[in-house]
Amino acid sequence: MKKIVLAAVVATAATIAVPAAAAPGDTATTTGSATATIVAPISISHDAASLNFGVLVSPSAASQVTVVGANATVTSGDAVQLGTGGSDSFTVTGDAGRSFAIVTGGNTMGGMSFTTTAPASGTIGAGGSTQFSVGGVLNIPASQAAGVYTTTYNATVTYN
């Protein structure tokens, strides 16, 4: 009787399906790449110039003075210009050949408002620096009090 039972167990084991096992070490590998470019930080410095609207006689009517390049010109109203003005100057340093954006902000000056005008962008020269100038428009109210008026404004540069 023992022989019959053993034969039945062997016959049953042969009919049961056993899943195939994956071969050990069946993997795949590839490589990727990574890069980083480090550039010189951008910086800006104010040159010795200043945005100068010139010497003007107080107007009897609201007037406007515009500075472009080395010239300040009364563009509206009756202000009389006694002396010339000129644009401001900045130097940008950073990664040669890289483009940058320029933003300047106007302000008020003793009851007078002014706006700045600068190029919207520039490119840093081969030597790692470049200059740009800032002009502007000054609005003078009628009968502006005599005096020397000064203020500051911001010039910001950012890599594009």
Share of the chain above pLDDT 70, in %: 86
The confidence score (pLDDT) of residue 6 equals 47
Whose CA is closest to 128, among 157, 158, 91, 102?
91
> Model's pTM, two decimal places?
0.77
98-148 pLDDT tens trace: 999 999 987 899 889 999 999 999 999 999 999 999 999 999 999 999 999
Name the one residue in this structure whose structure tokens are 């010339």: 84
61-86 pLDDT tens trace: 999 999 998 889 999 999 999 988 99
Longest dimension (CA), the chain: 132
- Asked whether residue 20 carries a pLDDT value surpassing 80, the answer given is no
Domain positions in the chain are: 44-144+152-159
How far apart (Å, rounded) are the C-alpha atoms in residues 38 and 67? 38
H or E stretch including 92? strand 88-93
32-51 pLDDT tens trace: 999 999 999 999 999 988 99
Q: Give long-range contacts, CB 8 A cutoff, 24+ apart: 68-72.
A: 68/117, 68/135, 69/133, 69/135
